[in-house]
Chain A
Amino acid sequence: MIPVAFSYARPDSVDGALALLAEHGEDATILAGGHSLLPVMKLRLGAPEVVIDIGRLPELRYIRVQGDEVAIGAGTRHRDLEASDVLGSDVPLLAAVARTVGDPQVRHRGTIGGSLAHADPASDLPAAVLALDATIVLRSPRGERQVPATGFYTGMFSSVKEPDELIVEIRVPRTGSAGWAYEKFTRRANDWAIVGVAVVDGRVGLVNMGASPLRASATEAALADGASIDEAAALADQGTDPQTDVSATAEYRRHLARLLTRRALTTAAG
């Protein structure tokens, strides 16, 4: 499968990439690791006229402690996340979730910024950053703004990111020793999650339970009110709108959300 022909640019800075985005508008798209974008282009579900390659900008590839948070450059690859000592000790959920993405080859290329920008409800990392109460930093020629992960997603493959904006950084609270767990249910190796549940510090993020990743708000509220794990987990599918597809019916997904939430909360409680 061959993508539709496009023009290619590899700017040597974020500012250069932003200038190109501003110039070409919605005709342009950003290429980082390419593991969401290139499959879409090969299937000709997408045909950008201009591809702006930011995949090798060192200024977007870092993991560093910044006060109560860990700041992660948007170009940081899944492999960097899973192998990071800083994340291993300060945000273990994120390192563990990154380890479940795709396979080693995919993790050598895919980036956290690309995964968040693609906004696929079946992706692992969006639900993790939701559960972590992370902040997503967007930059454009108009300036920089910080968006809470809980306010980032607007629907299937869509977010509040404007066409001239680039995700440049993800800021993740250091959860340290707080209990955490990730439950990813698949039927075959190397598959997308049929349902996934990320838990950290009493917050719950759900994979594939609607058009966008979301939090299990009813479960979180019940936990905050002192409910037991069983009681709280039974509410995990409230407010969700899962799809029926070849992998599972909506009803089965609801069952999985409740079951996996119970398992994740139990694991996180130690």
Chain B
Amino acid sequence: MTISVNTSVKVGITVNGEETTADVEPRLLLVHYLRDVLGLKATNVGCDTTSCGACTVLVDGESVKSCTVLAVQADGQSVTTMEGLSPNSTELHPMAAAFRAEHGLQCGFCTPGMVMAAVSLLEENPTPTEREVREGLEGNLCRCTGYHNIVRAVLSASGQNPDAVQTTSVDADADQSPAGGVESAPGFSTGSGA
């Protein structure tokens, strides 16, 4: 059996619905393919260590951190970036529209990654509670700390009224907490008797 081992590879990646191809080094990261090869600059590089989520894009519809994916790993797959989310500049995707309506951004650096993560979140959980939105965006940091309105935007994009959801889910979370409503640390406690 002969399997080729290559120092340069030809990749074909569908990006925002369009076929793209390039000869790349295997070490090229997907985020650099998007920004530097294709010139799609909405996707930001923040921490470059799989922590902050600024580089989040969709690969075959699921959120990934594109600083921790090789371009060659996306060969033959479909990638969606913020540029490809809305059909045109006047008709925003519902998530982008909700971020605007709820003022879910301040400096805007985290926004493309936050929006892409939120789109993936609703794909998996169409009507999340506030808690589920917060946990679902755990991998995205906003250094303006604008989380409150980001969470409202995602709830709104899911077709829920943020005011109603936030009021009820705070009470529900308090009831479920083993510490009587005091969540002492962002750890996880889960089990058959919980």
Residues of A participating in the B interface, judged by any CB pair closer than 8 Å = 1-11, 15-16, 19-20, 24, 31, 34-35, 38-39, 41-42, 50-51, 53, 55, 79, 83, 92, 96, 99-100, 102-106, 108-109, 177-191, 193, 199, 263-264, 266-270
Contacts and interface: CB of A to CB of B under 8 A. Distances in A.
Interface stretch (B56-64, B90-98, B153-161): B56-64
Given A42-B48, A96-B190, A104 B136 contact: yes
A183 B73 CA distance: 34
B5 A190 contact: no
Interface in B14-31: 25-27, 29
A45 to B, nearest CB: 13
Given A8-B5, A102-B139, 12 more contacts: A5-B25, A20-B3, A50-B5, A51-B26, A96-B191, A100-B188, A104-B117, A106-B50, A180-B192, A182-B191, A191-B186, A268-B192
Contacts of A83: 124
A39 B68 CA distance: 7
A109 B66 CA distance: 11
Contacts of A181: 189-194
Interface residues of B, number: 46
B3 A19 contact: yes
Where chain A touches its partner, the secondary structure class is mixed
A20 B49 CA distance: 29
A223 B92 CA distance: 59
B191 A104 contact: no
B5 A20 contact: yes
Contacts of A24: 5
Contacts of A186: 185-188
Nearest to A92: B192
A77 B122 CA distance: 19
Contacts of A42: 48-49, 68
B53 interface: yes
Given A3-B27, A182-B190, A16 B68 contact: no
A81 to B, nearest CB: 14
Contacts of B189: 181-184, 263, 267
Given A20-B3, A103-B138, A180-B191, A34 B186 contact: no
Given A9-B3, A266-B193, A103 B27 contact: no
A24 B4 CA distance: 12
B107 interface: no
Contacts of A191: 186
A80 to B, nearest CB: 11
B3 A11 contact: yes
Which 6 A-B pairs rank lowest in CB-CB distance, beginning with the nearest?
A103-B139, A181-B191, A8-B26, A267-B191, A270-B193, A184-B188
B7 A7 contact: yes
B185 A187 contact: yes
A109 B68 contact: yes
A105 B192 CA distance: 26
B176 interface: no
A34 B3 contact: no
Contact of A16 (B1, B73, B138, B188): B1
B121 interface: yes
Contact of A108 (B1, B6, B64, B187): B64
B191 A268 contact: yes
Contacts of A1: 48-49
Given A102-B139, A186-B185, A108 B192 contact: no
In this complex, which of A8, A51, A177, A269 has the most chain B Cβ atoms within 10 angstroms of its Cβ? A8
A35 B68 contact: yes
A24 B186 CA distance: 43
